[in-house]
Amino acid sequence: MKTSYKPAIHFNHVNYSVEGRPILNTIMGSFPEGKITTLVGPSGAGKTTLLKLCNGLLSSDSGEIYIKDKMISSYEPVELRRLVGMALQSAPMINGTVMKNLSLPLELQGKQLPEDEAKELLHDVGLDEEFLSRNIRDLSGGQRQKVSIARTLVNRPQILLLDEITSSLDRTSLQEIEELIVKINRKYNTTIIWITHNLQQALTIGNYTWVMMDGEVIETGKSDLLKSPVNDKVKRFVKGEVE
């Protein structure tokens, strides 16, 4: 992607395969720092796989990935997880209170989450502090997703990876989560990489968009590209002719 911004993540000829089957082919390009880039494309295009390469959940077969100008392989795993947070559609939670769930990332590092910080995190995601003592199973889908995002923010990641975080939410919760992510992006200058099936969302929320198909990035640019794509396959995709 041609941009004057510094890259938060840069891919140089990245390939990834499973048991000899290519999943990602020659991925090239950058996600600009402090911006929201959406990843769109049909099911099975390789979007989640690409995201998992960005926080070390998967390792590429060949090519280089740079996170903030440093090769991803040069980071300690804990350092990388702190720098690059990830939230998923399913928002997996442990049984217990919201406080217990928010504390988890630091507990895994042998640290404790001060209550003041927990309250600030809830404030950041638009939840009242009285939620701290609520049991996770009593929350709505939208509230759970907010707690999941707050938990990802515990480490104050500079890069946030989001995989379909609004796809199972009602319209109101969807809008709240969208506003919340934009707020986090602006307040902390967090780089956001957001997989979405919702092209309207990509258009309104994203600064930039990558369109992926069959393991390749086939069109990138400002999110407006979705209104008038150049590539024929992307034209068919935005018309809804490719699922």
Ligand X SMILES: Nc1ncnc2c1ncn2[C@@H]1O[C@H](COP(=O)(O)OP(=O)(O)OP(=O)(O)O)[C@@H](O)[C@H]1O
Residue ranges binding ligand X (CB under 6 A):
18, 23, 41, 43-49
Cα angle 187, 141, 91 (rounded to 5 degrees) comes to 70
CB-based contacts of 111, cutoff 8 Å, min separation 6:
none
DSSP 158: S
Residue placing its CB nearer to ligand X in the complex, 41 or 142: 41
Q: How far is the C-alpha of 30 from the C-alpha of 37, rounded, in Å?
A: 10
CB 169 within 8 A of CB 145: yes
Tokens of 69: 């100008």
Residue placing its CB nearer to ligand X in the complex, 46 or 157: 46
Encoded amino acid at 173, one letter: S
Residue placing its CB nearer to ligand X in the complex, 110 or 240: 240
Q: How far is the CB of 24 from ligand X (least distance, A)?
A: 8
Closest-CA residue to 153 (of 119, 129, 128, 194): 119
Residue placing its CB nearer to ligand X in the complex, 43 or 172: 43
Q: How far is the CB of 239 from ligand X (least distance, A)?
A: 18
Tokens of 191: 């780089």
Q: How far is the CB of 243 from ligand X (least distance, A)?
A: 10
Q: How far is the C-alpha of 64 from the C-alpha of 34, rounded, in Å?
A: 21
Q: How far is the CB of 44 from ligand X (least distance, A)?
A: 4
Q: How far is the CB of 93 from ligand X (least distance, A)?
A: 21
Q: How far is the C-alpha of 119 from the C-alpha of 187, rounded, in Å?
A: 17
Residue placing its CB nearer to ligand X in the complex, 3 or 198: 198
Residue placing its CB nearer to ligand X in the complex, 118 or 165: 165
Q: How far is the C-alpha of 49 from the C-alpha of 35, rounded, in Å?
A: 21
Closest-CA residue to 102 (of 158, 157, 155, 168): 155
Q: How far is the CB of 49 from ligand X (least distance, A)?
A: 3
Q: Indicate the Cα dihedral angle 65, 67, 71, 77, nearest 10°.
A: -100
Q: How far is the CB of 197 from ligand X (least distance, A)?
A: 7
Residue placing its CB nearer to ligand X in the complex, 49 or 143: 49
